[in-house]
Amino acid sequence: MKVAVIGAGASGLFAAAALKRSGADFMLFEREKRAGKKLLATGNGRCNLSNKNVSVSRYHGEADFSESALNRYGTNSLISFMESVGVPCVFEGEKLFPRSLQASSVLDMLRFAEGESEICETEVKKICRNGKAFDVYTEKGIYRADKVIVCCGGKAAKHLSGGGAYTLLTDLGHTLTPLKPAIVQLKCAGTKALDGVKINAAASLDGKTETGEVLFTSYGLSGPPILQLSREAKGKTICIDLMPELNFAEITEMLKNKKTLKYLTAENLFNGIINKKLGRELLRVSGITPFSKNIGEISDKEIKSLAAIVKNLKFEITDTNGFDNAQVTAGGIKCSGFNPQTMESKLVPGLYAVGEVLNIDGDCGGFNLQWAYSSAMSAVQSIIKK
């Protein structure tokens, strides 16, 4: 039995390494010059492999479809697998990393484990049924396979993985859902003057709050809490609490105390309390003018309004920063066309799809590489059993 694995990204390399171990005969196709380009960029080059909190609730799209694979091949399974290919793992907080903290070492070890067998610079153009087998069409020729695992990833970060190959599956009758960028920076007005400012804050959207370092840029917002909320943010308002550790009364008190320094101008109200650029922006948003007036002239009402803005600075999100800057694709090939236990197509027996190409995306924090692993293992185990 010959297996064609299409795409030598995260899920393709996991699948190939597991196939190699089982002694299966397989071919691994990759359209880029080298395998695992995106893997190298993961976790800022450190490769955040998984998370202590893996559960269906951290996935989106047809999330329920992921349950079986995540239960059978979850974080512990991934840790054992990585250990078995020579990469012990460590947790940093809730996130799992290779002990080396180097994505390149994960790529090296997966490639050694799969036998460095990838056929690079070979784009698969088409997959056609040929009796019970498949013909895999590439510019270098047609390859015959008994089983095909499509591991072509999504539309995100085209420079790292070519931007998807959904037609391989839609040509065989599968359906593609609408696609949108996720885990991505957000565009909004009102941040130009704050370009480069970073602050530990709590960002909220639709009743969901994420804390961490928020980064203001010339075009909008970035940083882990923003990326985490980005999936549903377009056209909505993100509220940022700039001092989550203090309540409204405590901030009001702190600002009132500052007002007693009568030698200061209004402009200096936030100086020493919060980033200067941000302080000026807060004064501007609350309409306190002129900045040159004496600090004592700021009324108690104005102080309360400033404290309220500190707790709830609002940004209308006009757009995301697009697929090219996104870490994952929300949407993909409809999972309902596949068996959740095996990842095998219900329409075309012998055809499998795993990883980001499917209509499943995880939160930021290792959930997407975990899905690449769990789905790849489900497919490989099913093929090996057969």
Ligand X SMILES: Cc1cc2nc3c(=O)[nH]c(=O)nc-3n(C[C@H](O)[C@H](O)[C@H](O)COP(=O)(O)OP(=O)(O)OC[C@H]3O[C@@H](n4cnc5c(N)ncnc54)[C@H](O)[C@@H]3O)c2cc1C
Nearest C-alpha neighbor of 331 from the set 164, 162, 159: 164
**Shortest distance, position 154 Cβ to ligand X, whole Å:** 7
Compute the distance between CA of residue 135 and CA of residue 146 in angstroms, rounded to an integer.
Answer: 9
Residue with smaller CB distance to ligand X, 33 or 385: 33
DSSP string, 3-47: EEEE--SHHHHHHHHHHHHHT-EEEEE-SSSSTTHHHHHGGGGT-
**Shortest distance, position 203 Cβ to ligand X, whole Å:** 20
Residue with smaller CB distance to ligand X, 45 or 349: 45
- 239 has which bridge partners? 204, 314
> Which residue has the closest beta carbon to ligand X?
9
**Shortest distance, position 61 Cβ to ligand X, whole Å:** 12
**Shortest distance, position 158 Cβ to ligand X, whole Å:** 10
Compute the distance between CA of residue 302 and CA of residue 252 in angstroms, rounded to an integer.
Answer: 10
Residue with smaller CB distance to ligand X, 213 or 250: 213
Cis peptide before 340 (omega within 30 of 0): no
**Shortest distance, position 227 Cβ to ligand X, whole Å:** 10
Strands of the sheet with 2-6, listed across from one edge? 118-119, 25-29, 2-6, 147-150, 351-353
Token digits for 82?
Answer: 């990585």
Q: Which residues bind ligand X (CB under 6 A)?
A: 6-12, 29-32, 38, 41-43, 47-48, 123-124, 151-153, 156-157, 160-162, 165, 327-328, 355-357, 366-369, 372
What SS3 state is found at 145?
A: strand
Residue with smaller CB distance to ligand X, 37 or 280: 37
Residue with smaller CB distance to ligand X, 61 or 153: 153
**Shortest distance, position 325 Cβ to ligand X, whole Å:** 9
Pairing of β 186-188 and β 2-6? unpaired
Residue with smaller CB distance to ligand X, 140 or 236: 140
Residue with smaller CB distance to ligand X, 106 or 295: 106
What SS3 state is found at 268?
A: helix
**Shortest distance, position 17 Cβ to ligand X, whole Å:** 13
